[in-house]
Structure 1
Amino acid sequence: MTAPQSGPTELTDEDGKLVVLARGALARAETATAAAVRDGDGRTYAGAPVTTATLTLSGLQVAVASALSSGARAFEAAVLVNGAADDPGLATLAEISSEAYAVFTDTAGRPTGRTGAV
């Protein structure tokens, strides 16, 4: 995936649902970032970062892993709330579905950028 494009990004209704899911994960886990993904069948998964002595995953990595472990074979989109362009989950998203895109938002859910397929 490439660096996020700057400037406002329009959210589709489906992307808006991902924002709600990611913000919910952020609030439940009381973290500064979170993410949600939509798989090729339209199912959604959310995740917050996990950090232990033996495991470190970004929220996007958690969401992508949850989807893959549930049988997802493709991804349409991801939303990263307060996320960064260097999130390692973006590489996995692109590895599975090169046409998937990611939308970055602030903690209020306002789009701040986008990367991936348009």
Structure 2
Amino acid sequence: MTELDAEDDKLLILARGALGRTGGGAGAAIRDTDGRTYAAGEVGLASLKLTALQSAVAAAISSGAEGFEAAVVVAGRFSDPGVAAVREVSATARIVFTDAKGAVFEVVEGPIEGDPAQRPGFLHSTPPEGFDLETESEVFE
């Protein structure tokens, strides 16, 4: 398991909290270049659907964030469209993916060049070997 530094661990705690509060399928938190953090869950309205990462990016941008250092996605998917939103603002921001319990299974750093589907270790169509989606995607309580 990859260990997170103190700042990214804070994002993990915030993302798990958002997941627990909203009761959705995923939670996310993001840190801007000023050190401010934003956490969010999924939005599932009939008129608006956002992933947790998209929601966190929207909260940050609407609060005046101009860049991102890092994001943590709990119980999300590699194909989350929020990754593109993070990259649009900060091409080098680190994005950490964890299971619902907080175990890190992927850290994506640096810009995504070319076809992301061809990048090793990124945008998997299936979870990593040994990752039990049914068990690991339970809501944090």
TM-score with structure 2 length normalisation?
0.76
How far the C-alpha of 1:10 sits from its partner, in A, is 2.5
Alignment partner, residue 92 of structure 1: 85
Alignment partner, residue 76 of structure 2: 83
Percent identity reads: 51
Check if 1:10 corresponds to 2:14. Answer: no
More strand by percentage = 1
Q: 2:59 aligns with which of 66, 70, 76?
A: 66
Q: 1:51 aligns with which of 38, 44, 47?
A: 44
Instruction: Please tell me the root mean square deviation across aligned C-alpha atoms, in Å.
Output: 1.2
Return structure 1 stretches of 4+ with deviation > 6 angstroms: none
Aligned residues: 111
**SS of residue paired to 2:2:** coil
**SS of residue paired to 2:66:** coil
Alignment partner, residue 4 of structure 1: none
Alignment partner, residue 112 of structure 1: 105
Q: Summarize the alignment of residues 23-62 of structure 1 with structure 2, pairs less than 5 Å apart.
A: 23-62=16-55
TM-score with structure 1 length normalisation?
0.90
Instruction: Choose between structure 1 and 2 for higher RCO, CA contacts under 8 A separated by at least 6 residues.
Output: 1
Distance 1:99 1:48 in 2: 23
